[in-house]
Amino acid sequence: MSTTFSSAPVTAGLRHQLETRVLPVSPEVADDHFRLDALAPGASATVAGFCADVDPAVIRRLNDLGLAPGQRVEVLRKAPLQDPVVVRACDCEIALRRRDAAGVILCPCADE
């Protein structure tokens, strides 16, 4: 292994580093907080964290999609039967299923 380049140790653990990223989760929704699926079309709020019962891999993906803590999310519309929903986050419009949207906890948006 003496020929290993200095970059090897950096990359070797990348998967592990990505998989062990910690995002804020809470077991229950606080009084002034609500879930993304409860947000009405046209309304916006800020991502506070994620529900603790959601798979960590799903949480990491939601984060990477732009539903990261501190980011503003707006619900644009809902499909027939209220599922899925289209949200705008990080300047992108994404369709999410209600089930997944429910894993995102929001707090009311402070007017900027």
Partner 1 sequence: MSDHCSPAGRNASPALTADNLRLAVVGNPNCGKSTLFNRLTGAKSKVGNYPGVTVARHTGVVTGTNIMLEDLPGTYSLDAISPDEQVVIDSLEDPTHAPDGVVAVIDATALRRGLGLLGQLQQLGLPVLVVLTFNDELTRLNGRLDIEAFARAVGHTVVPVTAGDRRQAAVLTKLLADPHSWNAPALPAPLAPERATKWTDSVLTASGWSAPTADRRTRRIDSVLLHPVAGTIIFFAVMFALFQAIFTLAAPLQGLIEEGFAWLSELVRTRLPDTASTGLITDGLIGGVGGVLVFIPQIALLFLMISLMERTGYMSRAAFLMDRVMGTVGLEGRAFVAMLSGLACAIPGILATRSLPNARDRLAAMMTVPLMTCSARLPVYTMLIAMAVPLPWQGATLFAMYVLGACATMAAAWVFSRVLKAGDRPLPFYMEMPGYQLPRLRDVAHDIQAACMHFLRRIGGVILLLSVIIWIGLNVPGGGIDNSLAAQLGHALAPIFAPLGFDWRITLGLIASMGAREVFVATLGQIAAAANPDDPGMALMAMTWPDGTPLFTAGAVAALLVFFAFALQCVSTIATLRRESGTWRWPAIAFAYMTTLAWIAAFIAKTIVDLVV
Residues engaged in binding partner 1 (CB under 8 A): 1, 3-8, 10-11, 14-15, 17-19, 21-23, 55, 57-58, 60-66, 68-70, 76-77, 79-81, 83-84, 86, 88, 90-97, 99-100
Question: What is the gyration radius of the CA atoms in the chain, in angstroms?
Answer: 17
Q: Which is nearer to partner 1, 1 or 40 (CB)?
A: 1
Q: Which is nearer to partner 1, 31 or 55 (CB)?
A: 55
Distance CA 67, CA 30 (A): 19
Q: What is the DSSP letter of 105?
A: E
Q: Which is nearer to partner 1, 29 or 58 (CB)?
A: 58
Picking from 72, 57, 74, the residue whose alpha carbon sits closest to that of residue 23 is 57
| Shortest reach from residue 111's CB to partner 1, in Å | 16
Picking from 22, 48, 24, 23, the residue whose alpha carbon sits closest to that of residue 35 is 48
